[in-house]
Chains A and B, each alone.
Chain A
């Protein structure tokens, strides 16, 4: 365990980069994903088709390739080489937004028209219906998949390794190159990711059970 303990601050510093990247990816991805979700249920063809194309295109391509692509395209667009963190953050937002968008779409579409009619018939305005009926129910239904997708996003941040970002896996390979303690080092990384993702998946399961009992699913 010496190899892990001696390099602990360095490794955990890398893990902090993973967390930061995940934070940017989730904030941007969920924001853009909401717009994508709205675009996917839009009745205007000039909104629906471009957004659908964007979603179906990116969902068929490996994330690792998207990370590379942005790393190559950004210098051409802005004229200078970008910091790997910024480049990775942009590719994550653009990529994860398609997945979050599909979750939002499913959430919106899971609400029955009868429910909306019922809300109107009690005298609620459109704004009130949206605020008190539609959004709360949709969020409750989407919460488990949102958490699951957030865990996947967090795991995916390790892929920024490929453009040389100093995140945890990159730093582990650097330490391993010096110390040659692969078993200890990679077991440590695996455990760290496992603990966070496992707790996350339990939380997701908890909300799933909760809404099943409340019969909103």
Chain B
């Protein structure tokens, strides 16, 4: 054992304590904003995968397969380094001038990636609704679009709240990857504290505690949402 002097003070001493809190605030922003994208695109592509018209089903399947089978880090680097180049020289120049570009790309990339996972849950939700309900809804005279919007999507979403909770937790954990493109979230900050003080062990341990508290808070929040939207008469936990 090396003579290592623990210095837990790096967790609250200024400016390091403040860095960690700033990191937490960014982690929350990344997770929450990316979740908005993930949920909307996830519902869209998950629904596309269960419609009757096969070209739409293929679009949904393509999206899910592409985004699920490429590591998130590679996706993020693609959007960050290659993304602006795809848009042509003039636009690329303009985009690279945006301040905080890495922050927006992290939200966008994390949202697109998580959407593929949400889409899979949405599809599973549709699959667990019996066929009789489709016929019943259509027999009331609703169009297919109305059927999805007013009946099927709300029903499927309520069925899949537990796996969506897991995804919501995962999105905060995956947001840590944004540090690789320089977004100063919690993990980035703990690494930065190490660079300044060489007390990376204490800093990363502190960051772990932050993620644990964040995770527990999210679970509490989702428990409330789950009991609020539980479908009466179904088995509950």
Contacts and interface: CB of A to CB of B under 8 A. Distances in A.
Contacts of B73: 158-159, 161, 169
A56 to B, nearest CB: 9
Q: Majority SS of interface residues in chain B? A: helix
Given A62-B176, A189-B74, A194 B69 contact: yes
A122 interface: no
Contacts of B66: 194
B69 A186 contact: no
Contacts of B4: 76
Given A190-B70, A193-B69, A193-B70, A61 B200 contact: no
A198 B116 CA distance: 14
Nearest to B174: A62
A61 B85 contact: no
A69 B216 CA distance: 21
Contact of A60 (B69, B70, B169): B169
B81 interface: yes
Contacts of B85: 182-183
Contacts of A189: 74
Most buried by A among B175, B187, B205, B215: B187
Contact residues on B (Cβ < 8 Å of other chain), bracket? 35 or more
Interface in A43-90: 57, 60-65, 68-69, 71-73, 75-77, 79
B164 interface: no
B179 interface: yes
A12 to B, nearest CB: 15
Interface residues of A, number: 39
B211 interface: yes
A76 B6 CA distance: 10
- Dominant SS at the A interface? helix
Contact of A65 (B65, B78, B201, B204): B204
A60 B207 CA distance: 12
B235 interface: no
B212 to A, nearest CB: 5
Interface string A153-175: 00110110110000001001100
A68 B193 CA distance: 13
Nearest to B211: A61
Nearest to B203: A72
Given A65-B187, A68-B204, A169 B173 contact: no
B61 to A, nearest CB: 12
Contacts of A76: 1-2, 4, 201
B82 interface: yes
B145 interface: no
B201 A193 contact: no
B173 A79 contact: no
25 contacts: A60-B173, A60-B211, A62-B174, A65-B190, A68-B190, A69-B205, A69-B208, A71-B200, A72-B194, A77-B1, A79-B1, A155-B71, A155-B72, A158-B73, A161-B73, A162-B180, A169-B71, A183-B85, A183-B86, A186-B74, A190-B70, A193-B71, A197-B68, A197-B69, A198-B69
Interface of B: 1-2, 4, 65-66, 68-75, 77-78, 81-82, 85-86, 169, 173-177, 179-180, 187, 190-191, 194, 200-201, 204-205, 207-208, 211-212, 215-216
Given A68-B187, A187-B82, 20 more contacts: A61-B173, A61-B212, A62-B173, A62-B187, A64-B179, A65-B204, A68-B204, A69-B208, A71-B200, A79-B1, A159-B177, A161-B73, A169-B71, A169-B74, A182-B85, A186-B77, A187-B78, A190-B75, A193-B74, A197-B69
